[in-house]
Amino acid sequence: MTTSHSVSKVVVVGGGIFGVSSAVHLARLGIETLLVNDGPLARGASGRSLAWLNSSRKRSAEYHRLRMIGIDRYRTLSARYPDAAWLRFDGGLTWDADDASNEIADVFAHEKHLGYDARHLSSDAIASVTLGIDASAVTPQGAILNPGEGWVDLPSLIEILIAEFVARGGQLVTDAGSAAVTVINGRATGVTTTSGISFAADAVLLATGGDVPRMVAQSGQHIADGTPIALLVKTKPVNLPLRAVLNTPRVAIRPTPDGALVLDSAWSEDEVVVNPDGTYGVEASTVQGLLDEASKVLAGHPKLELESHGVGPKPIPGDGEPVLGQLKDIKGYYIAFSHSGATLGLIAGELLADEIATGREHPLLANFRPARFS
**Same domain flag for 203 and 325:** yes
CB atoms within 10 A of CB 273: 12
CA distance 246 to 240: 14
CA distance 237 to 86: 15
Q: For the segment 10-20, what is each residue's pLDDT rounded down to a tens digit? A: 999 999 999 99
99 and 142 both lie in a single domain: yes
Closest Cα to residue 236, out of 340, 133, 143, 309? Answer: 309
- Tell whether 60 is covered by a domain: no
Do 231 and 271 share a domain, yes or no?
Answer: yes
Cα 372 from Cα 374, distance rounded (Å):
6
Query: Which amino acid is located at 248 in the chain?
Result: T
pLDDT band at 3 (very low <50, low <70, confident <90, very high): low
Identify whether the C-beta of residue 226 lies closer than 8 Å to the C-beta of residue 316: yes
Is residue 183 one of the residues assigned to a domain?
A: yes
Q: Which regions of 265-313 does DSSP assign to beta strands (E)?
A: 273-274, 280-281, 306-313
- Structural domain ending residue among the three candidates 282, 313, 344: 313
Residue 79 lies in a domain: no
Q: What is the pLDDT of residues 163-213, one digit of tens each?
A: 999 999 999 999 999 999 999 999 999 999 998 899 999 999 999 999 999
Cβ–Cβ under 8 Å, residues 17 and 158: yes
Cα 335 to Cα 324: distance, rounded to the nearest angstrom: 6
Q: How far is CA 330 from the centre of its chain?
A: 26
Dihedrals φ, ψ of 32, to 5°? -65, 120
Strands 203-206 and 9-13: parallel
Here the CATH number for the domain that contains residue 307 is: 3.30.9.10
Is 168 in the same domain as 232?
Answer: no
Q: What percent of the chain lies above the pLDDT cut of 70?
A: 99
- Say which CATH number the domain at 324 has: 3.50.50.60
> 291: domain range?
89-150+226-313
In a domain, 351, yes or no: yes
CB of 334 within 8 A of CB of 215?
no
Q: What is the pLDDT of residues 40-83, one digit of tens each?
A: 999 999 999 999 999 999 999 999 999 999 999 999 999 999 99
**In this structure, are 246 and 363 located in the same domain?**
no
Burial 11-20 (b: 16+ CB within 10 A, else e): bbbbbbbbbb
269 and 346, same structural domain? no
Same domain, yes or no: 297 and 184: no
| 273, 343: one domain | no
Same domain, 163 and 299: no
260 in the same domain as 126: yes
Is residue 56 domain-resident? Answer: no
Residue 353 and residue 233 share a domain:
no
CA distance 43 to 170: 20
In a domain, 77, yes or no: no
Domain annotation covers residue 78? no
Whether residue 165 sits in one domain with residue 144: no
Q: What is the mean pLDDT of the chain?
A: 96
Provide the 3-class DSSP secondary structure of residue 332: coil
Number of domains in the chain: 2
Question: What is the rounded distance in angstroms from the CA atom of residue 110 to the CA atom of residue 257?
Answer: 32
How far apart are the C-alpha atoms of 222 and 337, rounded to whole Å?
Answer: 13
